Structure 1
């Protein structure tokens, strides 16, 4: 993404947000690059109950921070280049974007966009892993990223879909210190990454019949919802597409959707923990 084309988190952080508490190596923000920004501002608030705050900086190109209960949960802006496909992107927190450049190169990845400042909010860079999956890093200054998660209408998790899970385990371990473990035995791959004692991301093999995206590997974004079936139906009513109907997954019940401009995302209902007594 060229400098100034689509800044991430292009809004000052609310007072009281301590960006120093964002753990490095943790996915901290997701945003949408889309040529249909006005449509995104309509579709996602109707789907998730978000409101939008447009950045006043002219260079931000109308970048919008979506809010839930007044807290930043995701962003959307114009694409970096005119022919870019609409896509949700994952950002991983770092305390030094320049150091990540060296780690990515040594691990066999590519530097797509070197680190650059996004106003006074932070610094970002864009990379690709050896299988071609794109991801970004975010070095916070006045904006720390997502201010709410793991509740309906917020980012639930990010998941790598890759034909090379063993290579991915090595690469992300070298770059972020993630430790993988298999969550589901049997054919195919369904694994999670831990950073310390926290699960920070997941990884799956491509679905049978091929990837819903053009590339062989990609990062997908899942948003938590109270009812995946109802949310999928509402998305279709609002002009979206149901790619994979709601179905059980190891973490709950999930549907894979496209928004009206074609951006891929998932919605997941997590099981409610049972209460004893």
Structure 2
């Protein structure tokens, strides 16, 4: 969600090789971006639920969407577990049903009940989504919420002190950590989900981002899962890039 949709489409096309264009009025102009002919992400102009332009304009942001088989039932579980509806469930033509929610710590995420549109067609490849991370002010409260409302369990991740894995259906699907565990985090940063995109070369991707007007929040560094960086696009949208092959494989 960005103030200037076309500028964002152009930026991510150059950075990741995505293809996309402003969508039809029936979808609010939503742009489905593709890689190798498969959907990988969406970009939309910031707007109010009634279609008007916000004033003031909200900051650019990437939103993590979680799949659900029954959106209405999940909304009820979220409310019972202390979450809130930012955008209540709605139909998106025949594509599916969506909602935007927040957990008790304030972290915002989306829900998608697929119909004609199943979601991402490529993941875990360079230029596509690879990981989602919940950075929260209260890991205990967030863990309880995930279990009660989303059927997502948390377990300590081996070799990563203080880092938790998010597990659904017996599979690891994301991560969680306390905001206090993150170095150099701007004061007042709220609980949030961080989107990771896979890249072949973290350093060259960051160089290209800077040349295109982006900003580096955490310079490339090696960690247990690979070489990563946390960056902002030119409109301020924060995301991470990672070469998940790891430094040993170079």
TM over 0.5, shorter chain: yes
Q: Which residue number corresponds to residue 138 of structure 2?
A: 164
Q: Does 1:71 align with 2:45?
A: no
Q: Over residues 146-174 of structure 1, what are the superposed CA-to-partner deviations in whole Å (9 max), with x where a residue is unaligned?
A: 00100000001111011201111110011
Distance 1:160 1:186 in 2: 15
Q: Is the 8 A contact 2:224 2:246 kept in 1?
A: no
> How is 1:53-202 mapped onto 2 (pairs within 5 angstroms)?
53-55=21-23, 57-81=24-48, 82=54, 83-183=57-157, 189-202=162-175
Shift of 1:253: 1.0
Structure 2: stretches of 5+ with no match in the other structure = 49-53
TM-score relative to the length of structure 2: 0.90
Worse-superposed segment, 82-91 or 147-156? 82-91
- RMSD (Å) for aligned C-alpha atoms: 2.0
Deviates most, 133-142 or 106-115: 106-115
Distance 1:186 1:166 in 2: 17
Aligned to 2:5: 37
Deviation of the 1:66 alpha carbon:
0.8
Q: Which ranges of structure 1 fall in alignment gaps of 5 or more residues?
A: 1-32
Q: How many angstroms does 1:95 deviate by? A: 1.0
Specify the SS of the correspondent of 1:116. Answer: strand
| Cα distance, 1:90 vs structure 2 | 0.8
Aligned to 1:228: 202
Counterpart CA distance in 2 for 1:262 and 1:65 is 20
Task: Provide, for residues 106-139 of structure 1, a one-character-per-residue CA deviation record: whole Å limited to 9, x for no partner.
Answer: 1111111211001111001111000100011000
Structure 2 contact 226–247 (Cα < 8 Å) conserved: no
Which runs of structure 1 show a deviation greater than 3 angstroms over 4 or more consecutive aligned residues?
184-187, 208-212, 272-275
How far 1:80 moved relative to its partner? Answer: 2.9
Residues 132, 215 of structure 1: 8 Å contact kept: no
Deviation by residue 1:15-62 (Cα, 9 ceiling, x = unmatched): xxxxxxxxxxxxxxxxxx00111111111011001111432x213343
Deviation at 1:209, TM superposition (A): 4.2
CA distance in 1, matches of 2:216, 2:246: 24
Per-residue deviation, 1:215: 4.4
Over 3 Å counting, the alpha-carbon distance change for 1:219 and 1:198 in structure 2 is: same
Summarize the Cα distance change of 1:266–1:273 in structure 2 as closer, same or farther, 3 Å threshold.
closer
Match of 1:210 in 2: 185
How high is the TM-score relative to the length of structure 1?
0.82
SS in 1 for 2:64: strand
Structure 1 SS opposite 2:200: coil
Q: Which structure would you say has the larger RCO, counting Cα contacts within 8 Å and 6 or more residues apart?
A: 1
